[in-house]
């Protein structure tokens, strides 16, 4: 559907400093492209994305009355928005723009300058051919429901809830168990400063429960969420088994992780040997104020074994990130409680990073803790019940890595530093809120570095351990970051939504509903009266999956129409043949 007026295209080839120019003859590309029909200006410049580069385009639009622009530069993921804004400022619809990627797809991946230059010409020709079929698209925005749903009532969930509620916004906090606090409610002290966990947690729980803007639902979880950013809706089964419908504009997922099941590591004898306990059980023991064996004796030899279930391809390949520091915390507490005991710490690597943690390690090593190293990949220690008279009840056999010796350690009590792993229902949660999980079953963030608490679904955030194992400070920091994002969205009152969505041509649709099955964002529903599928434009991300699946060709993806894509291929191939 070529627009009525004659296309007047400006083409700009970027050097990207030397990134493109060293492999692509940009002068030649500019010259050849300038000869194509409808190309009014063809220029090259050192950095198109720089201010002078942008001004160059803006001036040309006015001077040459351009109505289409093509920039041949880096990936559109990096600068498409930059150039669209230039068009907008110059009075053109931002979608009348196309980018040819001659860096990632050309100069960076080839080593023949001549061939790379030819490829650049072809890619730009394709873009010129395509841009002639671009249509102006209008921005759309939707209103925001100011309430927020927080799933999970651990330190992360509560921190997020309090932050949002303190700004005067409603929060619904769902907690699967009958109490708030999550993992931290087991702890006695917290690393690295050995603060009392209870004191911290109690205040947080009290504030959460008493907050006028927070409504806590215990023994509750979610099964299905409908809607999209600003307008979500779910039905929950509350305590009294009554169904209740909640509506909210944003979701913060803070479901945490659970401890690894230590009985899976056979040679540690967990479950068989009564005095082999997990770190979580040991926290509970510490809270009683007395460290005793199951038989009620004071343990003389206490061993701590790291990396149980972590950093081993048989269980979990990842590092659970806090257990080393928890082990140091334990060693310190043990030394205070039992000054004359022998404390052995078997580690695979000591990972005491982070503020205050290396200092904790150094301080701990001054307390006569015997540190030893084992091979976590190839030779896990073996715990056996000792039978010899006069021996302590258990012996640990292991190969000490630095000395290379096979050694034994006597033990009355052994603490297994269990790793953290995903809850069994993590897939259901991910499906319900429309986010993904990685191979370790942690929720995936939108960008691991630049957008670590958002997800690919607008309005859904992940905070705390459910995003990956971490300590309390990091969990809380993420929670507050997500809360800030949520509050910013609420304050805007509305959000822009994607306009490059799919649309169904009702006369062509046969009602087969294939598209509904394939849409990863549940953006399509079936209109029973009209017997056709309908795309919810707010939910649709424009991924194009439905368009390529629809058997009747009823679905058109805006900005990715068949015509646009075919003309791009056409332009590219024609140029390729011409150069031959």
Partner 1 sequence: MNNRVNPDLPRELREFGIRDWNECYHCGTCTAICPLTAQGFLFPRKTIRLMQMGLKDHLSTCVEPWLCYYCGECSEQCPRNANPGELMMSLRRYLTSLYDWTGLSKKFYTSKVWELAFIIIFAILVVLTFIFVLPPLDTTLTPQGGVKVNSFAPFHIIEYFDWAMAIVVAGLLVSNILRMYYRVVWQGTSNKVGLLDHIREFWHLIYNFVVQPKFSKCEDKSYWLYHWLLMSGYTIMFILIVVFLPWFQTEKIHPPWHLQRALGYYATIGLLIGLTAAIIGRLKKQEFKFQFSHVSDWLFLVMLTLTVITGILIHLFRVNGMPWATYVSYIAHMAILVPMILIEVPFSKWSHLAYRPFAVYFARLQKSAMTKTA
Ligand X SMILES: Cc1cc2nc3c(=O)[nH]c(=O)nc-3n(C[C@H](O)[C@H](O)[C@H](O)COP(=O)(O)OP(=O)(O)OC[C@H]3O[C@@H](n4cnc5c(N)ncnc54)[C@H](O)[C@@H]3O)c2cc1C
**Residues of this chain that bind partner 1 (CB under 8 A):** 342, 344, 350, 361-362, 365-373, 400, 402-403, 405-410
User: For the window 261-300, what string marks contact with ligand SF4 as x by the rule CB under 6 A?
Assistant: ----------------------------------------
* Contact between 415 and ligand SF4 per CB under 6 A: no
Which of 39, 524, 572, 575 is in the footprint of ligand SF4 by CB under 6 A? 524
Nearest to 537 by CA among 558, 553, 517: 558
Q: How far is CA 73 from the centre of its chain?
A: 29
Q: Does 32 bind ligand X (CB under 6 A)?
A: no
Selected from 176, 351, 470, 558, the binder of ligand SF4 by CB under 6 A is 351
In 3D, which of 84, 78, 73 has the Cα closest to residue 46? Answer: 73
Binds ligand X (CB under 6 A): choice among 317, 379, 425, 451: 425
Q: With respect to ligand SF4, which residue has the nearer C-beta, 101 or 533?
A: 533
Which of 364/501 has CB closer to ligand X?
A: 364
Window of 46-54, 63-71, 277-285, 488-496 that interacts with ligand X by CB under 6 A: 277-285
- Residues near 378 by beta carbon (within 8 Å), at least 6 away in sequence: none
- The backbone torsions φ and ψ at residue 81, rounded to the nearest 5 degrees and listed phi first, read -65, -40
Contact 29, 117 (CB under 8 A): yes
Piece in contact with ligand X (CB under 6 A), picked from 50-58, 252-260, 400-408, 493-501: 252-260
446 belongs to the binding site for ligand X (CB under 6 A) = no
For ligand SF4, give the closer residue by CB, 128 or 523. 523
d(CA 490, CA 170): 11
Check whether the bond before 296 is cis (ω within 30° of 0).
Answer: no
Q: Give the one residue of 71, 121, 540, 572 binding ligand SF4; rule: CB under 6 A.
A: 540
- Least distance from C-beta 139 to ligand X, angstroms? 36
Residues 6+ positions from 516 with CB-CB distance below 8 Å? 524, 525, 526, 533
* C-alpha to C-alpha distances, 77 to 81, 84, 101, 146, nearest whole angstrom: 8, 12, 10, 31
Binding of ligand SF4 by 176 (CB under 6 A): no
Q: Which does 408 bind (CB under 5 to 8 A by kind): ligand X, ligand SF4, partner 1, none?
A: partner 1
- Residue 502 binds ligand SF4, judged by CB under 6 A: yes
Query: Which residues are bridge partners to 346 per DSSP?
Result: 305, 372
| DSSP E strand boundaries for 377-462 | 382-385, 394-399, 406-411, 413-418, 420-421, 460-462
- 459 close to 249: Cβ distance less than 8 angstroms: yes
Nearer to ligand SF4, 209 or 370 (CB): 370
> Would you say 79 or 541 has its CB closer to ligand SF4?
541
Tokens of 44: 């090259």
Residue 369 touches which member of ligand X, partner 1, ligand SF4, none, C-beta under 5-8 Å by kind: partner 1
- Give the separation between CA 274 and CA 414, rounded to whole angstroms: 10
- Among the listed residues 134, 470, 480, 556, the single contact to ligand X using CB under 6 A: 470
Report in angstroms how near the CB of residue 164 gets to ligand X at its nearest.
15
CA–CA–CA angle 521, 522, 528 (5° rounding): 155
Give which of ligand SF4, partner 1, ligand X, none residue 464 binds (C-beta under 5 to 8 Å, depending on kind): ligand X
Residue 449 neighbours by CB under 8 Å, 6+ apart:
none
Smallest gap, in angstroms, from Cβ of residue 207 to ligand SF4? 31
Matching residue, tokens 């991924």? 543
Residue 280 Cα distances to 27, 231, 245, 351, angstroms: 67, 39, 36, 19
How many residues are there in the chain? 580
Which member of 550, 558, 568, 572 binds ligand SF4 (CB under 6 A)? 550
Instruction: For 329-430, list the strands marked E by DSSP.
Output: 342-347, 369-373, 382-385, 394-399, 406-411, 413-418, 420-421
Helices (H), 256-309: 279-287
Binding mask 216-245 for ligand X (x = CB under 6 A): -----x------------------------
> CB under 5 to 8 A by kind: which of partner 1, ligand SF4, ligand X, none does 410 bind?
partner 1
Residues 190, 193, 196: CA angle, nearest 5 degrees: 45
Residue 524 contact, options partner 1, ligand SF4, ligand X, none, Cβ 5-8 Å cut-off depending on partner type: ligand SF4
Binding partner of residue 362 among partner 1, ligand SF4, ligand X, none, CB cut-off 5 to 8 Å per kind: partner 1
Q: Where do contacts with ligand X occur on this chain (CB under 6 A)?
A: 151-157, 174-177, 182-184, 187, 190-191, 221, 254-257, 259, 279-280, 283, 322, 326, 329, 423, 425, 429, 464-465, 470-473, 475
Q: Where do contacts with ligand SF4 occur on this chain (CB under 6 A)?
A: 306-307, 310-311, 319-324, 348-349, 351, 417, 419, 501-502, 504, 509-515, 519, 521, 523-524, 532-533, 535, 540-546, 550, 552, 554-555, 557
């Amino acid at each position: 559907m070529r627009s009525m007026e004659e296309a007047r295209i400006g083409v700009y080839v970027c050097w990207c400093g030397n990134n493109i120019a060293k492999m692509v003859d940009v002068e030649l590309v500019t010259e050849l492209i300038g000869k194509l029909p409808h190309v009014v200006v063809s220029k090259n410049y050192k950095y198109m994305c720089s201010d002078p580069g942008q001004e160059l385009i803006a001036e040309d639009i006015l001077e040459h009355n351009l109505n289409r622009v093509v920039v041949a530069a880096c990936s559109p993921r990096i600068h498409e928005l930059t150039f669209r804004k230039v068009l907008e400022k110059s009075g053109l619809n931002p979608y009348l723009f196309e980018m040819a990627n001659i860096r990632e797809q050309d100069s960076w991946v080839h080593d023949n300058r001549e061939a790379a230059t030819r490829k650049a010409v072809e890619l730009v020709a394709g873009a010129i051919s395509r841009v002639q079929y671009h249509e102006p698209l209008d921005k759309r925005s939707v209103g925001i429901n100011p309430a927020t749903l927080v799933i999970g009532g651990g330190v992360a969930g509560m921190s997020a809830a309090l932050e949002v509620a303190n700004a005067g916004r409603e929060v619904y906090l769902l907690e699967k168990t009958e109490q708030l606090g999550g993992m931290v409610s087991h702890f006695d002290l917290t690393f690295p400063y050995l603060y009392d966990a209870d004191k911290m947690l109690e205040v947080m729980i009290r504030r959460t429960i008493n907050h006028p803007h927070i409504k806590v639902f215990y023994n509750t979880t979610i099964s299905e969420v409908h809607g999209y950013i600003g307008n979500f809706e779910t039905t929950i089964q509350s305590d009294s088994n009554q169904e209740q419908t909640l509506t909210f504009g944003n979701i913060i997922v803070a479901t945490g992780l659970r401890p690894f099941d230590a009985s899976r590591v056979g040679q540690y004898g967990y479950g068989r040997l009564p005095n082999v306990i997990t770190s979580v059980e040991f926290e509970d023991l510490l809270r009683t104020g007395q460290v005793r064996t199951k038989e009620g004796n004071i343990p003389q030899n206490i061993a701590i074994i790291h990396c149980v279930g972590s950093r081993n391809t048989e269980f979990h390949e990842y590092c659970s990130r806090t257990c080393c520091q928890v082990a140091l915390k334990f060693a310190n507490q043990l030394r205070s409680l039992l000054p004359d005991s022998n404390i052995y710490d078997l580690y695979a690597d000591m990972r005491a990073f982070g503020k205050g943690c290396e200092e904790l390690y150094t301080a701990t090593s001054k307390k006569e803790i015997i540190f030893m190293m084992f091979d976590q990949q190839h030779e896990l220690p073996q715990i056996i019940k000792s039978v010899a008279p006069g021996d302590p009840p258990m012996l640990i056999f292991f190969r000490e890595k630095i000395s290379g010796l096979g050694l034994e350690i006597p033990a009355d009590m052994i603490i297994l530093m269990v790793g953290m792993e995903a809850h069994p229902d993590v897939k259901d949660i991910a499906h319900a809120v429309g986010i993904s999980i990685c191979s370790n079953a942690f929720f995936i963030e939108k960008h691991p570095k630049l957008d670590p608490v958002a997800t690919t679904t607008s309005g859904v955030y992940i905070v705390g351990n459910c995003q990956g194992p971490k300590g309390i400070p990091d969990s809380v920091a993420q929670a507050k970051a997500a809360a800030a994002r949520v509050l910013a969205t609420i304050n805007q009152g509305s959000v822009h939504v994607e306009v490059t969505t799919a649309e169904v041509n009702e006369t062509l649709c046969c009602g087969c509903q294939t598209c509904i099955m394939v849409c990863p964002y549940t953006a399509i529903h079936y209109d029973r009266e009209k017997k056709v599928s309908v795309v919810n434009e707010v939910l649709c991300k424009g991924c194009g999956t439905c368009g390529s699946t629809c058997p009747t060709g009823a679905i058109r993806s805006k900005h990715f129409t068949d015509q646009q894509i075919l003309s791009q291929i056409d332009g590219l191939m024609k140029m390729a043949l011409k150069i031959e």
